[in-house]
Amino acid sequence: MTNANLARDLEQILIQIQKASLPIYETLKQSLGEYTQNTNATGDTQLKADVAADEILQTTFKDLKIIKQICSEEQEHAIPLHKEGIYSIAYDPLDGSSLMGANLSVGSIFGIYQGDFLPHNLVASAYVVYGMVIGIGFASLLQEGVDYFVHNGKEFQLQKTLKLSHKGKLNATGGTQKNWSKFHKSKIESLFNAGYRLRYSGGMVPDLHHILVKGGGIFSYPSTSDAPQGKLRMLFEVFPFAFIFERAGGNAVCIQENPTQGEIEAKRLLELIPKHLHDTTPCFFGSQEEIKFVSES
C-alpha cells in the first residue's frame, strides 16, 4: 500500500473517531456513573456508559467499508464488519469509567492494525480525552509526534504536535502499593528522590496525556503480587499507548522480574504477542531516560 492510500484511510478512520466522540461526550454529561448488573470479559462490572460508548463506536465503525473487524474491551470476541476491509481496530470504549462518579476525566483508546491484531501490524493509534473539552491524540507510521486535536464547539482543530523530551518530571504509577515488588518500590522511590512529582488520577488516558503534554516523565502499571501480569490490557490499552509513546520519541517496555536470580528483563511492549484478546501485561511508558533507568537491574 502506498503512503498516500494509507493517509487517506487513516483520515477516514480518524473522522469516525471524531464523530463518535461527540455522542459519547453527551452520554457522559447525562450519566451519573451508574453500574449495570453485567460483567465484561475481564470480570469488571460494566457501567451504563461503558455499554453506551461501545454501542456508539460499533455503529460508527460499521459505516466504514475499509474496516475488516473490531474488538472491544467490553466484548468477549472480535466482531467481523466488512469482508473486503483491511483494517482491524481494537478499542477501549471508556477507559477509567469508575472515575465518572468523581467527575474526573475519562477516555477512549484505539489501536488501528493493517491485518490482524498483532503489534507489528499497528499503523496508527488514537485516544480521546473527555475533560473540559474533547481532546484527541493521533499518531501514525506516517509522521513523528502525536497530533493533538481539540473540539472548539464546532469542529476539531489541530492544537499541537506532541513530542517527548529526553527526560521529564512526572511519575505516575498504579496498582496497590503493598503488592509492589521491592524492585518496583526502589525504582519509584529513586525517581521521587531525584525530584519527580507524583501525578496519578487513576485514568490512564488523562495520566498519559498529561505526560505527553508536559513533554516527559513516566507512567507504570507494574507486575504486583496479586496481579503478576499487571492490570492493563495489551490490545485495548497497552499497545495503542506503546505506539503513541514511541511515535512521540519515548519508549514503552514490559518489565518482568526473576525473583530467584534477582534479575529483571525489560522487553519492548510492541514485541509481545497476546495469546488471547483480553491478555494483560505489566507496562512502562515514558521518555527515553526514565525508561532506561527502570529497565536496568
**Closest CB to ligand AHG belongs to which residue?**
174
Instruction: Give the three cell numbers for residue 272.
Output: 509481545
Least Å distance, CB 160 to ligand AHG, is 23
- Round to whole Å and give the CA distance between 213 and 227: 30
**Nearest 5°: phi and psi at 104?**
-95, 165
Q: Does 209 bind ligand AHG (CB under 6 A)?
A: no
User: Which of these segments, 14-22, 88-96, 153-161, 251-259, binds ligand AHG (CB under 6 A)?
Assistant: 88-96
Minimum CB distance to Mn ion smaller for 71 or for 191? 71
Minimum CB distance to Mn ion smaller for 94 or for 112? 94
Please count the other Cβ atoms lying within 10 Å of the Cβ belonging to residue 83.
8
Per-residue binder mask for ligand AHG (CB under 6 A), 31-70, x = binder: -------------x--------------------------
Least Å distance, CB 166 to Mn ion, is 29
Please report how many Cα atoms fall inside a 13 Å half-sphere around the Cα of residue 58, on the Cβ side: 14
Minimum CB distance to Mn ion smaller for 13 or for 94? 94
Residue from 97, 105, 220, 281 binding ligand AHG (CB under 6 A): 97
Minimum CB distance to ligand AHG smaller for 203 or for 240? 203
Minimum CB distance to ligand AHG smaller for 9 or for 50? 50
DSSP result, 127-146: EEEESSSEEEEEEETTEEEE
- Is the distance from CB of 244 to CB of 137 less than 8 angstroms? yes
Q: Does 230 bind ligand AHG (CB under 6 A)?
A: no
What's the one-letter identity of residue 275?
K
**Closest CB to Mn ion belongs to which residue?**
95
Q: CA triplet 128, 131, 133: central angle to 5 degrees?
A: 85
Binding partner of residue 231 among Mn ion, ligand AHG, none, CB cut-off 5 to 8 Å per kind: ligand AHG
Residues 172-201 that bind ligand AHG (CB under 6 A): 174-175
Least Å distance, CB 36 to ligand AHG, is 14
Any residues with CB less than 8 A from the CB of 70 and at least 6 apart, and which? 57, 58, 61, 78, 79, 81, 88, 89, 90, 91
Place of cell 450519566: 31
Size of the site for ligand AHG (CB under 6 A): 13
Minimum CB distance to Mn ion smaller for 92 or for 246? 92
Instruction: Give the three cell numbers for residue 49.
Output: 456508559
- Round to whole Å and give the CA distance between 142 and 160: 17
Backbone conformation region of residue 206, classed left if phi is above 0, alpha if psi is from -120 to 50, else beta: alpha
- Round to whole Å and give the CA distance between 129 and 136: 6
Minimum CB distance to ligand AHG smaller for 12 or for 25? 25
Instruction: Give the three cell numbers for residue 138.
Output: 493521533
Least Å distance, CB 52 to ligand AHG, is 14
Which positions touch ligand AHG (CB under 6 A)? Answer: 44, 73, 92, 95-98, 174-175, 202-204, 231
